[in-house]
Amino acid sequence: MSSLRITYYSADFDEAAWIPGLQAALPGADVTLWTPGAPAADYAVVWKPPQQMLDEQQALKAIFNTGAGVDALMKLRLPAGVPVIRLDDAGMSVQMAEYVCHAVIRHFREFDGYEADMGNGKWSFRKPRSRLDYPVGILGLGVLGERVAKAVAQFDFPVNGWSRSPKELEGVQCFYGEAQLQDFLAASRIVVCLLPLTQETDSILNARTLACIRPGGYLINVARGAHVVDADLLAAIDSGHLAGATLDVFRVEPLPQGHVFWNHPQITVTPHTSARTLRSESIAQIARKIAALQSGQRVAGLVDAGRGY
Ligand code: NAP
Ligand code: GLV
């Protein structure tokens, strides 16, 4: 590895921790922060890099994305023929399973209502619900969606899943493709979005599709804010068709002060935290993949630029 050069840039993560971490995981490699005019590197490790970095780096063998979603990278002009490799779980799927199970159970068991009652000194019981009336539908059955589907199924909820290609997953009724989206939504009452953001999935949760969810439905969006048409979601909740939503991601982040989602009584928001990039797991995975690529092996997490994920 002695001659390897790694260039690092992140719009969000702290280079003071990542660069020494990558350096330690790749002994002998030269890991430096990208700045304009930096020398050509063999590998780039990035999160939301500027176009200038990709334009200038002419000798890259691969670009590593330090997140699961590559939508920000896909908006850029990428160097031709250079593979893009995204994080492949790296500790994210268990976090996503925790977050989604928590949101599903909080809604199903009405813990939000109990919290409010307890805060008001009110001792009251709500009628138990049947989980058979709350089938959970997962949009996206990839690395994260599959783990979430299995975790939710552990609580005996009926689970549906929707993907681009056909799948078979034990305990999950699988739907696929545009033609089966309506049937998937009609079979689901709690809908969880775990799709990548692409041209096909942008604004996929809109007035038409939200109306297909079972009445009294609930939306959990943990993918990207642009999957949801905000005004259509608000209309679906305010009309009573949907009971509410838990949203971790937004069209504009941080969620602007004064946005109606902040204080809507049926909407719970969190600050894009459902599955964080875990530094040590991610660095270990990227270092393993660089070593594999250097010895001519294939690696998981290769992005298909044509599909956009
Ligand atoms: P993934 O492994 O690439 O899985 C994507 C899934 O979506 C696949 O099952 C894919 O179908 C399906 N899909 C894609 N386009 C589709 C379409 N047009 N119609 C139907 N299904 C479609 O991705 P992942 O690792 O699970 O991550 C999913 C997303 O979660 C990421 O892209 C990212 O945006 C988001 N995320 C959010 C957070 C957070 O903290 N909020 C953290 C991590 C990730 P096939 O299986 O048929 O290809
Ligand atoms: C976070 O949102 C990610 O895509 O990893």
Residues 6+ apart with CB under 8 A from 211: 236, 241
Residue 76 one-letter amino acid: L
Using CA positions, which residue lies closest to atom 37 of ligand 1? 223
User: Residue 292 — left, alpha, or beta (φ > 0 → left; ψ -120 to 50 → alpha)?
Assistant: alpha
Using CA positions, which residue lies closest to atom 30 of ligand 1? 223
> Which ligand 2 atom is at minimum distance from the Cα of 275?
1
Parallel, antiparallel, or unpaired for β 136-139 and 159-163?
A: parallel
* Distance separating alpha carbons of residues 183 and 138, to the nearest angstrom: 13
Neighbours of 244 (CB within 10 A): 19
Task: Look at residues 292, 217, 253 and name the one whose alpha carbon lies nearest to residue 48.
Answer: 253
What's residue 249's pLDDT? 98
* Distance separating alpha carbons of residues 237 and 242, to the nearest angstrom: 5
- 283 and 25 in contact (C-beta within 8 Å)? yes
* Chain centroid to CA 95: 11
139 touches ligand 2 (CB under 6 Å): no
Which bound ligand lies closest to the C-alpha atom of 99? Answer: 1
Examine residue 158 and say whether the peptide bond preceding it is cis (omega within 30 degrees of 0): no
The stretches of 70-142 forming alpha helices (DSSP H) are 71-74, 92-108, 111-119
Q: 3-class SS at 136?
A: strand
Measured N-to-C along each axis, helices 92-108 and 111-119 cross at an angle, to the nearest 10 degrees, of: 60
Residues 6+ apart with CB under 8 A from 156: 131
What's residue 1's pLDDT? 45
Residue 122 one-letter amino acid: K
Which residue out of 131, 272, 279, 288 is catalytically annotated? 272
Using CA positions, which residue lies closest to atom 5 of ligand 2? 67
This model's pTM is above 0.85? yes
Strand order in the sheet with 43-47: 30-33, 5-10, 43-47, 62-65, 84-86
- 151 and 172 in contact (C-beta within 8 Å)? no
What's residue 3's pLDDT? 82
Is 288 part of the annotated catalytic residue set?
no
In this structure, the chain runs to a length of 309
Task: Look at residues 139, 146, 147 and name the one whose alpha carbon lies nearest to residue 200.
Answer: 139
CA of 112 relative to ligand 1 center, distance in Å: 28
225 touches ligand 2 (CB under 6 Å): no
pLDDT in tens, the chain (309 residues): 448 999 999 999 888 899 999 999 999 999 999 999 999 999 999 999 999 999 999 999 999 999 999 999 999 999 999 999 999 999 999 999 999 999 999 999 999 999 999 999 999 999 999 999 999 999 999 999 999 999 999 999 999 999 999 999 999 999 999 999 999 999 999 999 999 999 999 999 999 999 999 999 999 999 999 999 999 999 999 999 999 999 999 999 999 999 999 999 999 999 999 999 999 999 999 999 999 999 999 999 999 999 999
> Which ligand 1 atom is at minimum distance from the Cα of 276?
40
Strands (E), 87-231: 136-139, 159-163, 172-176, 190-193, 217-221
21 touches ligand 2 (CB under 6 Å): no
Which domains are seen in the chain, by residue range?
Answer: 5-90+277-294 (3.40.50.720), 92-269 (3.40.50.720)
Using CA positions, which residue lies closest to atom 1 of ligand 2? 67
- 304 and 74 in contact (C-beta within 8 Å)? no
196 touches ligand 2 (CB under 6 Å): no
